Structure 1
């Protein structure tokens, strides 16, 4: 896997002052947001891109709430957020919107992906181990509910899994139930 790595830049944000570094993997460009003085065993959030949630504030998911929680936690604990460019569980924005349209007709998130010819979740996480090794990180506390993230991180000791539970609303309640009951998320 050929990976290009950017320089380090400062990123002052409403969540605090961070450093950022980009990692280009093929056509995907991922972003690592971290505190300059990372904890010895940092809390790490692996967050997959969700334009509708992260940027627009969609209520169909809990992505923005999770991202903001993770950034606040990274600020207060000298942690890290790895922002993976895997829109719509890695089916892309166009297909994600088509999946939304199918969900509007009554399909759940998994059924919609299947209807479009995709698996329930097309994301991969191999780059995460490479990123953590780049930073010299050997142990982490992983902020996740997703067992696939836990199982995909290799050669890094996960000393603790920290749940990330957000309040549900009438628009994402069924979505969160499907993540728990059908995708095995630890909610």
Structure 2
């Protein structure tokens, strides 16, 4: 799971972040998987792009790309984000790795036009690449709920991370069904 502080489980105990919660849910469903946490707090899509080779060193069989939140928090242009995500998706395609792209929504303080352009990056990539699994908003049902977020109102609590894992699980199972047998 290539991501940022959400993936890394910022502010949570070891084992409470989304990768660990996703792994536990999949194992409970009889899928003997290991979900690698390739989340780095503060990472933008550019950071994810720069460390992609490092993240692939463990030779994953599929990749969840969960980047973009920090691009929005820093007000980086949607065009920059798109370029970085395209480069990441192209690199993964060259390796024939199945991909799940988890979308993000821009903070509202950047304006409606920025928000539309930002969201369109994810939906356009999903439309243009029918081979990827698309989950439109990583924090669906979690963002904005004080009971599911830490005091910073950005990072999920342990319960929020569990809910994130539960909600994205069907998309991840679709992703896993695309993994080629070894």
Q: TM-score range by the shorter chain?
A: 0.3 to 0.5
Query: How does the TM-score come out when normalised to structure 1?
Result: 0.32
Q: Larger RCO: Structure 1 or Structure 2 (Cα < 8 Å, ≥ 6 residues apart)? A: 2
Structure number with the higher strand fraction is 1
Higher helix share: 2
Max Rg structure: 1
